[in-house]
Amino acid sequence: MTQRSQDGAREVLHARSAELYTRACRVIPGGVSSPVRAFRAVGGTPLFIARGAGAQVFDADGRSYLDFVGSWGPLILGHAHPAVIAAVTAALARGSTFGAPCAAEVELAERIVSAYPAAEQVRFVSSGTEAVMSAIRVARAFTGRELIVKFAGCYHGHADHLLVAAGSGLATFGRPSSAGVPEAFTAHTRVLPLDGEQALAELFAREGERVAAVIIEPLPANHGLLPQRREFLEALRRLASTHGALLIFDEVISGFRVARGGAAELYGITPDLVTFGKVIGGGMPVGAFAGARHIMARLAPDGDTYQAGTLSGNPVAMAAGLATLDALERESAWAQLESRGAELERLLAPLLARPRFPLQLVRVGSLFWLSFHARGASRTAAPLASVESARFAAFFHAMLERGIYLPPSPYEAYFLSLAHSDRDLAHFAHALPAALAAVP
């Protein structure tokens, strides 16, 4: 089939999504509320999702898909989990928001504090972006310093000073990677490559006394999945402490997903501050940042660092988060998710043994990624060649045709949930060879 006839066939299959997309493009920039949803990396019409149930999503045309996006991380229990629906419905019936403290936020904060040793106090916000922005503000206030060190390939939300170009592998001054961000806003951001103790040591030797915080996704999952060496994370901890800087773990994806105590537990490293989102909100808009009491004490109203939110600690969102964490505990989720991930890996290993083109599976617990990089999966962020991106796009659509919904970008990790059954994993494994064969 030619590209045009393929596109035409897809349009017919997804007629209602296509119609909605046309309408959306008139009134919403790019037709979407967040760019990756627009399918630009894979082509075609984004699916408009009408509903989800367990591991399935159903599009506006009534077709069902096995979902490996999971709303990009929050849905660790799957879609429309009965316990979450019950908790949210009950909370909503009592009123949706008060702009005053509520019991549920205390309970969720207590739950986070008991699960995550670095967290003595927690402040809730409404997104991961806000969580990171606020953690950095408190880190700067606490240290009285300005510089932030981040790593190329790590995403920390869309706050101005963190929208900095993924570096070229060298220590570099921050340059905005988005229009609308003045260079002055990123002048206090330094970008280093992942996996490089040397570059970090050099930066600290050069300007360590100016560094307020080093921020990292301890399990980088926004440029594919790039698990780091423990020694590298230990070097971050050591260098930050030596130079009086704070270490911030951005666990917006990994928090309560890869272990009860997140990646910090997995690696046995304690950050000074941590950011959460996704899982702790059970599918509702929630973020949080947490840390030692003496650092968090800088926040208003006790301290001089302002941070606030109309819907922060929202009772309905807190109820969803609590119901999710309850279910995770009840179902010994982390062991289960690891064994499902291991099962998927076992099923896929023989299928990936002799690929027609470079392809590698990377997995940590319930997060996995198929790397289309010719030079193999790595620990540092590297762009895909255009032929590799094109392979992914073809693979994506071939999987979609087989009823499997993957993230529509070659740089996004795939998410497993407790709702993915053995049958679902077998479905993925069954679809894979044919989808790979469809890649030109």
Which helix (H) or strand (E) covers residue 297, if one does?
none
Residues within window 156-175 making contact with ligand PMP, judged by CB under 6 A? 156-157
What does the DSSP 8-state code read for residue 228? P
Which helix (H) or strand (E) covers residue 258, if one does?
none
Instruction: Name beta bridge partners: 299.
Output: 305
Instruction: Name beta bridge partners: 64.
Output: 58
> x/- contact string, 136-155, with ligand PMP (CB under 6 A)?
-------------------x
Query: What is the spatial distance between Cα 413 and Cα 424, in angstroms, rounded to a whole number?
Result: 18
Among the listed residues 132, 147, 149, 317, the single contact to ligand PMP using CB under 6 A: 132
Catalytic: which of 65, 116, 155, 414?
A: 155
| Residue pair 292/272 in contact by the 8 Å Cβ criterion | yes
Nearer to ligand PMP, 70 or 287 (CB): 287
Catalytic: which of 150, 278, 411, 414?
A: 278
- The reply to whether 405 belongs to the active site is no
Give the residue carrying structure tokens 């009285």.
144
Nearer to ligand PMP, 10 or 156 (CB): 156
Residues within window 252-311 making contact with ligand PMP, judged by CB under 6 A? 252-253, 277, 287
- The reply to whether 250 belongs to the active site is yes
CB-based contacts of 24, cutoff 8 Å, min separation 6: 31, 32
Distance from CA of residue 78 to its chain's centroid? 16
> x/- contact string, 200-219, with ligand PMP (CB under 6 A)?
-----------------x--
User: Least CB distance from residue 73 to ligand PMP, whole Å?
Assistant: 7
User: Least CB distance from residue 12 to ligand PMP, whole Å?
Assistant: 33
Give the residue carrying structure tokens 């490293």.
269
* Region binding ligand PMP by CB under 6 A among candidate stretches 174-182, 249-257, 338-346, 417-425: 249-257
Q: How many residues does the chain have?
A: 440
The answer to whether residue 250 forms part of the interface with ligand PMP (CB under 6 A) is yes
Nearer to ligand PMP, 222 or 307 (CB): 222
Strands laid side by side in the 360-364 sheet: 360-364, 367-371, 414-415
- N- to C-terminal Cα distance for the chain? 11
Residues within window 216-235 making contact with ligand PMP, judged by CB under 6 A? 217, 222
Residues within window 66-85 making contact with ligand PMP, judged by CB under 6 A? 72
Query: What is the spatial distance between Cα 197 and Cα 193, in angstroms, rounded to a whole number?
Result: 9
- The reply to whether 278 belongs to the active site is yes
User: Least CB distance from residue 217 to ligand PMP, whole Å?
Assistant: 5
Query: What is the spatial distance between Cα 255 and Cα 276, in angstroms, rounded to a whole number?
Result: 6
* Region binding ligand PMP by CB under 6 A among candidate stretches 109-117, 245-253, 257-265, 351-359: 245-253
Q: Is the dihedral of CA 399, 404, 410, 416 positive or negative?
A: negative
Query: What is the spatial distance between Cα 404 and Cα 414, in angstroms, rounded to a whole number?
Result: 11
Give the residue carrying structure tokens 């990646």.
263
User: Least CB distance from residue 285 to ligand PMP, whole Å?
Assistant: 7
Q: Report the candidate in 161, 176, 73 with the shortest Cα–Cα distance to residue 412.
A: 73
User: Least CB distance from residue 381 to ligand PMP, whole Å?
Assistant: 13
Report, as residue numbers or ranges, the catalytic residues.
Answer: 155, 250, 278
Contact residues: ligand PMP, CB under 6 A: 72, 127-129, 132, 155-157, 217, 222, 250, 252-253, 277, 287
